[in-house]
């Protein structure tokens, strides 16, 4: 057994392998020359004191101990095996496919968007303010919404074994092993596409199939059972269908609604992206004017209750960029991403508040269970009207937003298409604007310097979670009324984030296999 110990070090010491190896050897009472391997298995930063410290957990292998085996997975051939249709190649769809392969079933993935390489070009066009391909953008395409993201890998999942396996699967497919031990692991937008392409290669090598530029448009039922999916004139049949289309696939909700498949309205959240200079966030969090060369770009996580309504920061991207995450040109939708080095000079996060079913009650008569979806669409379209052509987004300085006054000009931003001054405090639904203004004022008291005109709010952050659930039975995880339909991931309303969608995809694959073996 290796020795395991935690050292509390300065950031510089924690970056110095020779230093912490010598410290570890001394602590466990062996000669440095007897140390065969030191593995970092945990790293977290404690910035509560004036001088931040790094808690480094190490496994020390002495000469006689066998070194740990590298992460490895075997995926058997599934050629000729029972086929399962998966719609969507986001984390939920890809992890469902990998689990089905492990269990001996052949996944056929239908994906409306393109492979990661051509998708990169589509995304570059959106950033240049050119056209938006409604099937290939920040939300749609290989790897789903998480491919061009920060790649944060948090989850509230209680099943740590499953979480560990998901991270190991990503490492096996090319993510850096640091994600296995960082307290707040992230992959980075520069590295994610390679990981996604490697997962594709695993699926194809095992005999699975992925059809790109294939948008599911309808369901195919026989004898009360779902037997497949239509994509235009083509029918794709399988023993079961996993629907993992994410929460931006409004056409899927509309199609299900039209075909009489029961959906359920659910509460969700909307707001803005807020962007500060990263140096400002560093100075607040690390209590020092500069973070120096050894500390990472600082993050924050904020939450408050404003007159009974929750306001919170979401998907914080230290050293990141605000990105145009809309799926058509009639919307202004922003989100955030960071490269692995988190080295941009900006820090952004979503700042959102709850939208309750009672807030969209006025739309229920016309839209039924899709009322929240409609409310979200109206919010995005209103933001577009206050922006400008070419994905230019409406923005306001933060102190002006809170005080309710216009911003005469705007500071520099990471948002490449550009921003224009706008009265977000005026045109947003009043309950959202009021909750956000009160929330930012509270956050300014918790983090001195957060409420500043050096920062901006950018409109709008509308796709934090789905406003519509595709229900499933607690026992079978199948839609209660549509035999053979397995809703999965964020679009179904059962996950939020990359890892939680991936874990849900695995869980759904296991449910499919139980159903097929019944």
Ligand X SMILES: Cc1cc2nc3c(=O)[nH]c(=O)nc-3n(C[C@H](O)[C@H](O)[C@H](O)COP(=O)(O)OP(=O)(O)OC[C@H]3O[C@@H](n4cnc5c(N)ncnc54)[C@H](O)[C@@H]3O)c2cc1C
Residues forming contacts to ligand X in the complex (CB under 6 A) are: 87-93, 110-113, 138-141, 144-146, 149-152, 215-216, 244-246, 249, 252, 315, 323, 325, 335-337, 489-491, 495-498, 501
Nearer to ligand X, 137 or 353 (CB): 137
Strands 35-46 vs 53-62: parallel, antiparallel or unpaired: antiparallel
CA 58 to chain centre: 29
Nearer to ligand X, 306 or 510 (CB): 510
Give the Cα separation of 141 and 144 in Å (integer). Answer: 5
Nearer to ligand X, 45 or 192 (CB): 192
Nearer to ligand X, 227 or 442 (CB): 227
User: CA angle 101-498-163, nearest 5°?
Assistant: 65
Collapsed DSSP state (helix, strand, coil) of residue 367: helix
Give the Cα separation of 494 and 256 in Å (integer). Answer: 17
The structure tokens 């500069």 sit at 290
Residue 205, CB-side half-sphere exposure with 13 Å CA sphere: 11
Q: Are 358 and 282 in contact (CB under 8 A)?
A: no
Instruction: Give the Cβ contact number of residue 115 at 10 Å.
Output: 20
CB of 167 to ligand X, least distance (A): 12
Collapsed DSSP state (helix, strand, coil) of residue 219: strand
**Can you give the length of the chain in residues?**
518
CB of 118 to ligand X, least distance (A): 13
Nearer to ligand X, 113 or 318 (CB): 113
CB of 11 to ligand X, least distance (A): 24
Nearer to ligand X, 51 or 204 (CB): 204
CB of 504 to ligand X, least distance (A): 7
CB of 98 to ligand X, least distance (A): 13
Nearer to ligand X, 14 or 325 (CB): 325
CB of 222 to ligand X, least distance (A): 21
CB of 414 to ligand X, least distance (A): 13
Contacts of 480 (CB under 8 A, 6+ apart): 262, 471, 472, 473
């Amino acid at each position: 057994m290796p020795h395991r110990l935690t050292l509390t070090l300065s950031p510089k010491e924690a970056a110095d392998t020779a230093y912490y190896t010598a410290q570890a050897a001394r602590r466990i009472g062996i000669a440095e020359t007897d140390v065969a391997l030191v593995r970092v298995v945990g790293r977290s930063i404690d910035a509560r004191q004036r001088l931040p410290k790094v808690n480094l957990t190490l496994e020390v292998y002495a000469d006689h101990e066998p070194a740990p085996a590298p992460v490895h997975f075997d995926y058997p051939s599934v050629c000729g095996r029972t086929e399962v249709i998966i719609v969507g190649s986001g984390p939920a769809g890809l992890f469902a496919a990998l689990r089905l392969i492990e269990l001996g079933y052949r996944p056929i993935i239908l994906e409306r968007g393109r492979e990661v390489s051509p998708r990169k070009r589509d995304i570059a066009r959106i950033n240049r303010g050119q056209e938006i391909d409604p099937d290939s953008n920040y939300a749609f395409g290989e790897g789903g919404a998480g491919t061009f993201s920060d790649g944060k890998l948090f989850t509230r999942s209680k099943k740590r074994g499953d979480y560990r396996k998901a991270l190991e699967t990503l490492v096996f497919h090319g993510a850096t092993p640091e994600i296995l031990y960082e307290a707040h692991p992230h992959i980075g937008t520069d590295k994610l596409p390679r990981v996604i392409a490697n997962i594709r290669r695993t699926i194809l090598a095992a005999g699975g199939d992925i059809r790109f530029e294939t948008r599911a448009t309808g369901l195919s039922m026989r004898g009360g059972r779902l037997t497949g999916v239509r994509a235009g004139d083509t029918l794709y049949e399988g023993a079961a269908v996993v629907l993992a289309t994410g929460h931006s696939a409004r056409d899927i909700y509309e199609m299900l609604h039209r075909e009489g498949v029961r959906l359920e309205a659910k509460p969700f959240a909307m707001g803005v992206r807020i962007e500060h200079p990263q140096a400002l966030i560093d100075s607040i969090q690390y209590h020092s004017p500069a973070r120096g060369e050894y500390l990472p770009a600082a993050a924050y996580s904020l939450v408050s209750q404003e007159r009974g309504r929750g306001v919170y920061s979401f998907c914080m991207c230290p050293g990141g960029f605000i990105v145009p995450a809309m799926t058509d040109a009639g919307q202004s939708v922003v989100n955030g991403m960071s490269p692995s080095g988190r080295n941009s000079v900006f820090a952004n996060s979503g700042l959102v508040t709850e939208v309750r079913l009672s807030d969209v009650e006025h739309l229920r008569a016309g839209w039924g269970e899709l009322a929240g979806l409609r409310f979200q669409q109206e919010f995005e379209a209103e933001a577009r009207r206050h922006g400008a052509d070419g994905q230019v987004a409406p923005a306001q300085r933060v102190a002006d937003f809170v005080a309710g006054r216009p911003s005469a000009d705007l500071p520099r931003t990471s948002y490449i298409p550009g921003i224009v001054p706008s009265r977000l405090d005026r045109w947003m639904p009043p309950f959202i604007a009021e909750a956000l203004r009160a929330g930012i004022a509270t956050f300014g008291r918790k983090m001195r310097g957060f409420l500043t005109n050096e920062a901006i709010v950018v409109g709008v952050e509308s796709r934090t979670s789905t406003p519509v659930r595709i229900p499933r039975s607690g026992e079978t995880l199948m839609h209660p009324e549509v035999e053979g339909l397995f809703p999965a991931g964020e679009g179904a309303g059962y996950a939020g984030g990359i890892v939680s969608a991936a874990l849900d995809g695995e869980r759904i694959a296991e449910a499919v296999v139980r159903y097929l073996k019944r």
